[in-house]
Amino acid sequence: MSSIRVFVLGALAERGPMHGHQLRLLAEQEHVHMWTDFHVGGIYGALKRLLAEGLVDAVRTEREGARPERQIVEITDEGRAALDRLRLETITDFSLRPDPFDLAFARVGKELVHELPALLAERRAAVAAAAREHAERLEHVDQYLSVAEQHVMRHQTHRLDAELAWLDTVLADLPAIVHDELTREAD
């Protein structure tokens, strides 16, 4: 699922023709980096791919003052159909993506097993800091968000809280984990 496609096609469908810089400014204004899995700089590459696939079409170029020429694009009928499919798939499909941490943790090996307490404490501190930063951002932007966006931000809050709770159970069970890893390695 490509959330950048949903954003670009959705913005063009809702707001009409735009150039890449306008889309980037809109993404920054809507703080999409706080609640999506793409960075606003990726919009330009996504636009090129959408143009190549015929989901958006160049309608004209503009130049303001000494600024570079900018290509204005609009969503095509195929793009509207793709947007509808993407939205439906994104809303109805559940995807639990594996975290690379899980593989590294499950196969930590005897070289790092004794460092696990410090490494996991560091990871927990990083997640806790991210949760605090998220909560602070939410305080400042909550009043500007739509009801749906407020729920999206709270979804992230719940995910961070769940990660912290899980790490706490891992840290509590760390002696058994280390013992198991050392025993498993010896066999």
- At 35 the three-state DSSP class reads coil
Q: Say if residues 11 and 18 touch (Cβ distance below 8 Å).
A: yes
What CA–CA distance (Å, rounded) separates 126 from 101? 14
When the pLDDT of each residue in the chain is averaged and rounded to a whole number, the result is 90
**pLDDT value of position 65:** 80
Task: Give this prediction's pTM.
Answer: 0.71
**pLDDT value of position 175:** 93
Between strands 70-75 and 56-62, the pairing is: antiparallel
**pLDDT value of position 64:** 81
What CA–CA distance (Å, rounded) separates 106 from 61? 53
Helix (H) or strand (E) holding 136: helix 116-141
**pLDDT value of position 146:** 81
Distances (CA, A) of 122 to 102, 115, 126, 145: 16, 11, 6, 32
- Sites in the chain below the pLDDT cut of 70: 1, 185-187
Multiple choice CATH, 3-92, 1.10.287.1120, 1.10.10.10, 3.40.50.1220, 1.10.260.40: 1.10.10.10
What CA–CA distance (Å, rounded) separates 35 from 160? 13
**pLDDT value of position 33:** 75
